[in-house]
Amino acid sequence: MQLYTDAVKNWIIPMGFTPQNGKNGIYSKTYDFHNGYAIFVDFNSGKIIYDSEENPKQNTLKVWEKTTCNFSQTENFVVLECVDRLLSKGYAPACIELEKTYPSGRGHSGRLDILVKTMAGVPFLMIECKTWGEEYEKEKARMSKNGGQLFSYYSSDRDTEYLCLYTSHMNSKREYDNAVIDVEDRWKSLSGVKEIYDHWNKNFKDNGIFDSYAAPYHIKHRALTYGELKTLQEQDGGKIFNQIMEILRHNAISDKPNAFNKLLNLFVCKIVDENKDPEDELAFQWLESDTDESLQLRLNDLYKEGMWRFLEIDIIDYKQEEVLQRLAALDSDTRQWVMEMYTNTRLKKSPNFAFVEVQDERTFELNAKVVREIVELLQVYQFRYAQKHEFLGNFFELLLNTSMKQEAGQYFTPVPITHFILASLPLRELIQKRVDARLAEPLPTVIDYACGSGHFLTEYMSQMQAIIDSGVIDLQGASPDVRKQFQVWQGFIKFQWARNTVYGIDLDNRLVKTTKVSAFFNGDGEATVVWANGLDHFTKSKTYRGKLNHANGKNNGQFDILISNPPYSVDAFKGTVAYGEESFELYPYLSDNSSEIECLFVERMKQLVKVGGWAAVILPSSILTNGGIYARTREILLKYFYIKAIVELGAGTFMKTGTNTIILFLERRSDNDYKAAIQEINHFFVTNADVAVMGMEHAFSTYAACVYDELALDDYLSLFSGTPTETMRGHELYSDYRKTFGENYIEEAIRIEKEKLLCFLLTYPQDIVLIKTGRGKGEKQFLGYEFSERRGHEGLHWLPGGTKLYDETDRLSPKKANGYIYRAFLGEKMDIDPSMAENIFYGRLSQFIEFGTDKFNQSINLGKRLKSFLQSKYPLVPLGNVVEIFNGGTPDTSVSEYWGGNICWATLADTKEKYLYTTERTITEAGLNSCNATLMPVNSVLFSSRATIGDVSITRVPVATNQGYKNFVCKEDFLHYEYLYYILKYEAKAIESLANGMTYPEISKEKIAQFKIPLPPLEIQHKIIDELQRIESEEQILQTEIANVREEIAEIIAHCGQNEDNHVKLKTITAYSNEKVNAQSLDRDTYIGVDNLLPYVAGKRESEFVPASGTVTAYHPGNILLSNIRPYLKKAWLADNHGGSSGDVLVLVVDEEKAVPEYVFSFVSSDAFFDYEMQNIGSNVKMPRADKKKVLDYLIPLPPIQEQQRLAGEIARRKANILRLNTRLEALKDMKETVMKKSL
C-alpha cells in the first residue's frame, strides 16, 4: 500500500526531517555528530535514501537490498524511525546494515531489517521491525511459540549478542515498543533453531537499548518492579511447567523429587517477594550486576523470610550484613577471608536451592546455572493473586490435626449475653472488608482485658469459626496466603487463627487458668491469655507480650475489637495499678480509696482499640450520669468513640447483682476529631462565623436552636457581648448564668458553652439504637431466661418463649435485638418490628445529652424526650392549637357485618400518595360506630403515627383510618390543609423521634399536639402552597416522561430477542476480569464495592471505603460491573473510568470484536437478567449471591456489530434522556426544600 505524501510527512517531520535547500520534493536529516551523515526522503521518486553519494563512503549505512527503501508500506517507515533512533542514540552509520539476507530454513531465505555491528565489524544486535499493533503482537506471539524470524537469523550468525523485535508509530506523539532477548553464551554451541528456542526462557525485556540511561553497545536492562509483573494466564501454567521440565532435562537433573522440593523453596522466595508496592524493585530476579553468589544470597534472605512468614519456621541463617557487622573489628584481609568462608559455607555446601548436589566450585556453578535459568523464567510473572491458581496450589498444601471443641461452664457474664453481644457485631462483613483490603491479617484482633472465665473469648472463637466454616467469606479478592489460611482454618486445624488474633488478660490467676482450659475445650488452646492486670503499663509490664507491648504515647491501638465485662466498684484499687500516672489521664482524679475502677477500664479501652475498631463493653449505668470522675470518663467516651447502640439492662440480666448495667456498642473515632472541633469552636468565639463543622452546616445556629428551644444565633451571641438582646434577657440561659456567676458571668459562660458545643458537635451527627430490656415480667420475656437460686436448680434457665436478644440462624432478624445493632455498625437502619416496638428506639445521640444551662457534666439521659429541630422566622405554635386531632380505629375483623361497606378505611397501603381517593378495604356504618375510628371529612390530613411513622395524605373522599394514624382537621382561620401536608412531610423525621410505646413505636395524641410548627399568615401559606404545587406539577410530567422512555427501551430490547436463532451465551462474548490493580492507586471515585453501586441500575456513587493496601480487580471503560450480592437490588454499572473493585463485584470484560459493551449492558441490566440471577440462587439463602457460572450462561441476542451499535445508540439516547429528566427531578426535590427553608 503506497503511502501518500501527507502520511509520509507525518512520519518524517517529527523525526526532524526538513526540506532540503535548493531542491524540490526532497526532505533530509543531517546527523552532525556522525560527521554530517544524512538520510534523504525523495517524494519525487518515492525513495528513502540511506546510502546517498553525498555521504562519505566510510561513514554510511550499508543497504543490501532496497525493498524497505520506498513508500510502499508503513513498515518501511518503522525501519526508518528505528534507524533514526539508533543514530540518535550514537550508533555509527557504518555499523548499521539494512536488509541483510539470511537462510530461514527449508531452502528459503529472509532479510533482516536492521543489523548493528560493533566497531570491529562483529554482529551485535539484530532488529526486526513490524508495524504498530496487530503485526507486532502477532510476530511476538510467533517468537514465543517457535522463535520466529529472529531466531532463524540468529542461528546463522551466532556472534550476535541481542535480538530485538521493534515497532513504532506517529499518532499524537512518537511512540515505540520493543521486545529484547539477551543471547546466552551457551546458545552458540546448540545445534539449531529448535534447540536454541528450547533453551530460551521465553521472556522478553522491554528496555535497555533505546532508553535514556542506555549507551551504544552497553545495553542495560532496568530492574524489574512489582507493577511490571505479568498476570499469570490460565495457559501459562502448562507453558511454565514444560519449560521447567526442559531446564531440568538439558541440565541433566534426574532427581525429580529433590528438584520439586527446591522448586518449592524458590516459590516461597517468589511469593514472599511479591508483597510489594507497584514501584518497588523485586529481589527475585537476575540483575545485570548480579553474580551467581549475589543472586543466591538474596534468595537465601527471601527464603528465611518466607519460611518464617508462611510457616513460622525460623531457618538458621544469617544475612551478609549481620555477619559483616560482627566482623567490623577485624582487619580487612581477615574479614575478607572469613566472608569468603561464610559465603562458601552458606551457598556451596547443601544450599537451599541445590538442584545439583553442591560440593565444590564446579558443582556450585552447575547448580547456579539451573537456579538462574529458573529464576529468569519465573521472575516476570505474578504469582500472588486474589484467586486460586491450580499451578500454585500444587506447591502449597498443608495437612494438619484436629482440635477438640466442647462447651464450657457459665461464669459471670451469662452465656446469652455474650452470645448477644457477639451476634450484634457484623463479623462477617468485617472479615470480608479486611479480605477485600488484602490486609496481611484477614481476621480482626480481639481482646477481653478482664476475661474472667473466658466466655467472651470462647464465644467469639465459636462464632468466628462458624463464619469461616460456612464459606460465606468471598476470597476472590484475597491474597493467596490468606486463601491458604482459610483452607487451613476450615480444615483440620480449626481455631489456629486465634493464636495471634485472640487476647485475654486477667489479674486472677485462677481465672486465667480457667480461661486457658476453657479455650482448649472450645477448640483452641493457643489464644494469648495473659496473667496480668488489664490496666498495666504497655511497655513496662513484665508480663504483657505480643501486641500488648506496643505503645504510642498512652495509646496501644493494636486491637480491632474489644469485648469485655470489666470489674467495677473495687474498693481502694488505686494501689494495684502500676505506673498509673504514666498510663492514664484519669489517674490523678482517683483517691487512695476510690472504687471507680471501671473509669480506668474505659480509658484503657480507648487506648487498646485502633481507629475504626469496635468495642462492646458492659458497664454500670452510673457511667452515663454520675459526676466527678464519671463525667471525665464520659468525656473520653464522646471524644474518642462513636456510640452505635446502648442497651439498658434490667435487674434480671445478671445473677446476684444489685447494680444497674448497660452495654455500650462503640466504634473508635480518630483522636483528631475533637481537636478539629475545638479549633472551630475557638474560631467561632472570635469571628462568630456560623460555618459547617464535622459535616454539619450552620453548626452553631443549629446548636443554639436545638439546645435552647429555637434560640436565634444573634440572640445566643448577645449573651457574650455584654449587651444581651431582649430575647436573651428573657431566656433562662441568661438568668441562670447571672444567678450563678453574677454580673461578670461572661468568662465562665464562654468556658461552659465551649464544653457544651464540643459535646454537641461530637454527638449531633450520631444516630444511635437504644434497646431497653424492660422490667419484671417484660424483661424475662425479652431476655428469654431467668436465674434460679432454688437448691438443686441453681443457675440460668431458658424460658419456653425463647429470647428476643438474638436469632441463632438469622443475624438480621427484625424480631431480635441484635439485628438493629448489627445494621447500625453497617451504617444502616431497620424498620422496627411491631414485636420489638416497646424495646427498640432510634434517636440522635445529642438529644439524650442533658445540656442544662449553667451546669453541664455531659450526662446521658436515656429517658429524655426528644423534640423538633425546625427553625423559623414565624411563630412556632403547638400543632394542637391550630388543628383538631382524631384517632383511628379498627372494627373487629371477625364480625363480617363491619366490613365491605361504602366507607373508605385507610391503612399504610393506602397513604403512599399525596391525595387519597379510595382505599383497599371498606367498612360499614356499624363497623365505624363499633371502634374508635372517626370519619374524616374531605381535605383532612392523615399522618401515620404508629410502627411506620411519617406517611402523609390529604383525603379527597370521606375516610376513616386504623389506629396507626393521627388525623387532622385544620382550623381554617389559621392553617391550610395543603400547608400542613408540606410541613408534616418536611418534619417527619423530627416527629418520628417523639415515638415510644408499649407495643409499637407510636406518637401519642398529646405529644403530637405539643409538636411545634411554624405558622406564617395564611397569605404566606398560600404562596408556599402555590410554589410547591407548581414544582409538583412538573414532577408529575417528568415522571410520566421517564416511564414512557423506559417503556421504549423495554420495547427495543424485547424486539431484539424475538429471533431466537441469534442468541448466544454471555461467555462467548464476555469474560471475568482477572487483571489486578494496586489499591493504593484508587480513590473514592475509582473504587467500586457493593455499597457504592446504586440500586435499580442508577449508577454508582463515591465509596466511603477504599482499601489501603493490596490489590483488587481492575476495571476499565466499557467493562460491566455487577453486584454479586443480592441481585434483586439490580446494581449494575457500565464503567466510564479506570479503577478497581471488591471481590463482591463481578467485572465483565466484553470482547469488543464480537459485541458492543453498551449493547450487552442493556441486557445484563434488564429486569429479565436480574430475575434470571435470582432463579439460579436457590432457596434459604441468607445472603443471595449470583452463580458466576450461570451468569455467563445467560442468553442474549447477538446481531451484527453494526446493528448492535445502532441499537446501543438508540438505547443510549433514551438513557441520556432519562438521566436528564432524573437530574431535573433531583433539582425539583432540592427546590422544594429550598422553598420551605426560604419561606419559613
pLDDT band of residue 792 (cuts 50, 70, 90) is: very low
Q: Cα separations (Å) of 1 from 48, 68, 269, 468?
A: 16, 13, 52, 63
The reported pLDDT for the residue numbered 895 is 93
Lowest pLDDT segment from 632-641, 820-829, 1046-1055, 1086-1095: 1046-1055
In a domain, 836, yes or no: no
Q: Give yes or no for residue 178 having a pLDDT over 50.
A: yes
- Average pLDDT, integer, range 1117-1139: 90
Domain boundary among 671, 698, 720: 671
Q: How many CB atoms lie within 10 A of CB 570?
A: 14
The reported pLDDT for the residue numbered 509 is 56
Q: Cα separations (Å) of 623 from 291, 351, 655, 700, 860?
A: 68, 63, 21, 28, 9
**Residue where the block lists cell 498509673:** 580
Q: What is the dihedral of CA 469, 472, 474, 479, to 10 degrees?
A: -20
In a domain, 242, yes or no: no
In a domain, 390, yes or no: no
Q: What is the dihedral of CA 534, 536, 541, 544, to 10 degrees?
A: 20
Does residue 1132 contact residue 1125 with C-beta atoms inside 8 Å?
no
Render 580-619 in DSSP notation, one character per residue: HHHH-SSGGG--TT---HHHHHHHHHHHHEEEEEEEEEEE
Lowest pLDDT segment from 293-297, 975-979, 1029-1033: 293-297
Q: Give yes or no for residue 411 having a pLDDT over 80.
A: no
Task: Tell whether 26 and 132 lie within a shared domain.
Answer: yes
The reported pLDDT for the residue numbered 904 is 96
Task: Tell whether 682 and 600 lie within a shared domain.
Answer: no
**Residue where the block lists cell 410530567:** 1037
Q: How many helices (H) and strands (E) does the chain have?
A: 39, 41
Domain boundary among 641, 671, 701: 671
Convert the pLDDT of each residue in 911-969 to its tens digit: 989 999 999 999 999 999 999 999 999 999 999 988 778 899 999 999 999 999 999 99
**Cα 703 from Cα 690, distance rounded (Å):** 10
- High-pLDDT (> 70) share of the chain, %: 87
Convert the pLDDT of each residue in 18-77 to its tens digit: 999 989 999 999 998 898 999 999 999 999 999 998 888 788 999 999 999 999 999 999
In a domain, 1030, yes or no: no
- Average pLDDT, integer, range 1181-1190: 76
The reported pLDDT for the residue numbered 312 is 40
- Average pLDDT, integer, range 154-163: 91
Task: Please tell me which residue, 1207 or 57, carries the higher pLDDT value.
Answer: 1207
Query: In the structure grid, which three cell numbers stand for residue 711, read together?
Result: 434560640
Does residue 693 contact residue 761 with C-beta atoms inside 8 Å?
yes
Which residues in 665-702 are b (16+ Cβ under 10 Å) and which e? bbbbbeeebbeebeebbeebeeeeebeebeeeeebbbb
Instruction: Give the rounded distance of the alpha carbon of 341 from its chain centre.
Output: 51
Does residue 139 contact residue 164 with C-beta atoms inside 8 Å?
no
Q: Give yes or no for residue 628 having a pLDDT over 80.
A: yes
Q: Give yes or no for residue 88 having a pLDDT over 90.
A: yes
Task: Tell whether 477 and 547 lie within a shared domain.
Answer: yes
In a domain, 700, yes or no: yes
Q: Phi-psi bin for 105: left (phi > 0), alpha (psi -120 to 50), beta?
A: left
Lowest pLDDT segment from 185-194, 337-346, 558-567, 1135-1144: 337-346
Query: For 1064, how many CA atoms within 13 A lie in the half-sphere containing its CB?
Result: 12
For residue 649, the one-letter residue type is L
The reported pLDDT for the residue numbered 234 is 53
- High-pLDDT (> 90) share of the chain, %: 39
Q: Give yes or no for residue 398 having a pLDDT over 50.
A: no
The reported pLDDT for the residue numbered 1016 is 92
Task: Tell whether 801 and 911 lie within a shared domain.
Answer: no
Query: In the structure grid, which three cell numbers stand for residue 319, read together?
Result: 544475612
Convert the pLDDT of each residue in 218-256 to its tens digit: 888 888 888 888 876 655 656 677 777 778 888 888 887
Task: Tell whether 880 and 947 lie within a shared domain.
Answer: yes
- Average pLDDT, integer, range 124-136: 93
Convert the pLDDT of each residue in 191-227 to its tens digit: 888 888 888 878 788 888 998 888 899 888 888 888 8
Pick from 1053, 1076, 1071, 1081: nearest CA to 1119: 1071
Instruction: Give the rounded distance of the alpha carbon of 215 from its chain centre.
Output: 45
> What is the pTM (predicted TM-score) of this model?
0.45
Mean pLDDT of all residues belonging to the chain: 84
Pick from 33, 28, 7: nearest CA to 17: 28
Task: Tell whether 679 and 666 lie within a shared domain.
Answer: no
In a domain, 526, yes or no: yes
Q: Give yes or no for residue 1162 having a pLDDT over 70.
A: yes
The reported pLDDT for the residue numbered 233 is 62
The reported pLDDT for the residue numbered 1023 is 92
In a domain, 1113, yes or no: yes
Q: Give yes or no for residue 864 having a pLDDT over 60.
A: no
If 0-12 CB within 10 Å is exposed, 13-18 middle and 19+ buried, where does residue 145 land?
exposed
Angle CA 199–201–203, to nearest 5: 145
Q: Give yes or no for residue 999 having a pLDDT over 90.
A: no
- Average pLDDT, integer, range 259-284: 80
Task: Tell whether 191 and 317 lie within a shared domain.
Answer: no
Task: Tell whether 1065 and 1176 lie within a shared domain.
Answer: yes
Q: Cα separations (Å) of 1094 from 52, 1015, 1038, 1122, 1177?
A: 67, 39, 21, 11, 21
The reported pLDDT for the residue numbered 795 is 60
The reported pLDDT for the residue numbered 350 is 54
For residue 129, the cross-strand partners are: 166
The reported pLDDT for the residue numbered 1090 is 86
Angle CA 599–602–603, to nearest 5: 95
Task: Tell whether 141 and 286 lie within a shared domain.
Answer: no
pLDDT band of residue 162 (cuts 50, 70, 90) is: very high
Convert the pLDDT of each residue in 629-664 to its tens digit: 999 999 999 999 999 999 998 877 876 665 788 999
Q: Give yes or no for residue 532 having a pLDDT over 70.
A: yes
pLDDT band of residue 399 (cuts 50, 70, 90) is: very low
Q: Give yes or no for residue 1102 having a pLDDT over 60.
A: yes
Domain boundary among 994, 1015, 1036: 1015
- Average pLDDT, integer, range 1019-1037: 91
Q: Give yes or no for residue 507 having a pLDDT over 90.
A: no
Task: Tell whether 888 and 914 lie within a shared domain.
Answer: yes
Task: Tell whether 858 and 957 lie within a shared domain.
Answer: no
Angle CA 1037–1041–1042, to nearest 5: 120
The reported pLDDT for the residue numbered 470 is 85
Query: In the structure grid, which three cell numbers stand for residue 378, read together?
Result: 519465573
Range of the domain at 1091: 1044-1224
The reported pLDDT for the residue numbered 605 is 96
Number of domains in the chain: 7
The reported pLDDT for the residue numbered 397 is 28
Task: Tell whether 652 and 721 lie within a shared domain.
Answer: no
Task: Please tell me which residue, 996 or 1004, carries the higher pLDDT value.
Answer: 1004
**Cα 161 from Cα 444, distance rounded (Å):** 54
Render 30-76 in DSSP notation, one character per residue: EEGGGTTEEEEEETTTTEEESS-TTS-GGGS-EES--TTSBSS-HHH
Q: What is the CATH number of the domain that holds 584?
A: 3.40.50.150
Q: Is 352 helix (H, G, I), strand (E, B) or coil?
A: coil
Q: What is the CATH number of the domain that holds 899?
A: 3.90.220.20
Q: Give yes or no for residue 392 having a pLDDT over 60.
A: no
How many residues are recorded in the chain?
Answer: 1240
pLDDT band of residue 409 (cuts 50, 70, 90) is: very low
In a domain, 1237, yes or no: no
